[in-house]
Structures are given as structure tokens and as C-alpha cells.
Amino acid sequence: MSLLSVRNVTKKFGGITANQDVSFSLDAGQIVGLIGPNGAGKTTMFNCIAGYFPPTAGEIYLNDVNIAGLSPEQCARAGIARTFQVARTFTSMTALENVMVGAFLHNKNVRAAREAAAELLGFVNLGKFRDKPAASMTISEQRRLAVARALAVNPKLLLMDEVMAGLNPTEVKETVEVVLKIRDRGISCLIVEHVLEGIMPIANAIVVLDYGKKIADGTPQAISNDPQVIAAYLGDE
């Protein structure tokens, strides 16, 4: 059985159809990339999966539970965590405190939350920032901090929205290594990304959206050779 199964999801905002009859699935232990041109509906799909918007139609199964229409907190408790396109770090708080915010979802004990947060900071290679304000970190470091905070809710599935955008090649490599470590920890990853050199080498599958519709779904190699994908997206890279 798939971990995540998106079934015929449509999301409309008034007259705009941001997602139209989109279906795809992701198995446990997989990294799946969600790509497509600006405005294709990628973030909207994330928002539907993570409970920020109810889909207008369709179902979203996490294992055998239909989570479509649940609140963000209910989705988080069901096992879905996410990062945002613009990293929402609390800049005046320390790195450790930022991650503790996530840990408190399951752990009301401050000491246990602090220990879990410290472990996760080390996991994303930010241990040295533990007691430093998030404002002192680079964009790349703040994105990994947001990843650590999302991991602190103990997800089965992590949704990452453009964590590699605007990073230099070294930073992209560091982020890719963290994504692989997350997968190796048993957490599946669904990643919206325009940085194809980051996502293509590590994804089990790529789902391509264009004008709200799914136009392709397959291995990175199959997607790279798909004429419709090249015309809609890869052609103008």
C-alpha cells in the first residue's frame, strides 16, 4: 500500500483551478519530486496535503486514512510535516528554540523536547548554531533549520517546498545530503523544487504539473525524455 495516495484532487479558488483532477502516490521510503512551471499548482497541492486548504474535490490518503479536509494540526498528528517556500524561522529565537517549537507537538516535557531538538540540529549539521539566534544564519542554514523543526513533529512524510532555491552548488549538495539522510531515517519526502540538478539524481519518481494538471509521472530519466514535459517546462530551463 502507498504511504500517500492523492486521488483525483481538484482545488479551485473562485474561477481559478489551481489543481485539476490530480492523482499520484508515494511509497514509504521514497523521495518524490513535484515539479512544473510557476503557477502550475505545486504549492497548492502541498497546502491540500498538509491541511492548509480543503480540496474542492478528491481524496488524500495517508496509509488508509482519508486526510483531505483535516486541519494542519490534525495532518501533523497523522504524520505529515512541511516546510514553507519562504522559511518561516523565528529569527529572534535560537536555533534550538526554533526546533523545540516543532518538538512540542508530541512532547510537552521541556527537557525531552530540548533533547530531541538538539539531536535534530546535529542531524541537519547545525549543531554549532544551537544557542545562536536564527537571524545569524545564512538562508541555506535557515532552510535546514526549518527542516529540523518539521522533523521534530516526528513525521512519516515530509513536504519540502523549494528548500534548494537560491542556494550555491555547495549548499545544494549539503541539502541533498540531508534529504538522503532523512530518507534513510525512514521518512518519505515529497519535494517541490525548481533546482532540478538537486532533485533529479535523488528522486524515485517525479510528478510534473502544468496549469494545474498532471502531465507526467515517472522516473527522473523518463521525465527528462518526455516530449510534453520538455515542451512545458524543461525546454525553457
Q: Footprint of ligand ATP on this chain (CB under 6 A)?
A: 13, 16, 18, 36, 38-44
Task: Please name the residues in contact with 147: beta carbons below 8 A apart, sequence gap of 6 or more.
Answer: 83, 124, 158, 160, 163, 178, 182
Q: Are 143 and 172 in contact (CB under 8 A)?
A: no
**Smaller CB distance to ligand ATP: residue 120 or 217?**
217
Minimum CB–partner distance for residue 136 and ligand ATP (Å):
28
**Smaller CB distance to ligand ATP: residue 16 or 222?**
16
**Smaller CB distance to ligand ATP: residue 42 or 82?**
42
Minimum CB–partner distance for residue 186 and ligand ATP (Å):
27
CA neighbor of 210 nearest in space, from 187, 180, 232, 191: 232
Minimum CB–partner distance for residue 38 and ligand ATP (Å):
3
**Smaller CB distance to ligand ATP: residue 123 or 210?**
210
Minimum CB–partner distance for residue 191 and ligand ATP (Å):
12
Task: Please name the residues in contact with 181: beta carbons below 8 A apart, sequence gap of 6 or more.
Answer: 123
**Smaller CB distance to ligand ATP: residue 46 or 123?**
46
Task: Please name the residues in contact with 77: beta carbons below 8 A apart, sequence gap of 6 or more.
Answer: 105
**Taking CA 93 as the corner, what is the angle to CA 89 and CA 94, rounded to the nearest 5 degrees?**
100
Pairing outcome for strands 188-192 and 205-210: unpaired
Minimum CB–partner distance for residue 74 and ligand ATP (Å):
20
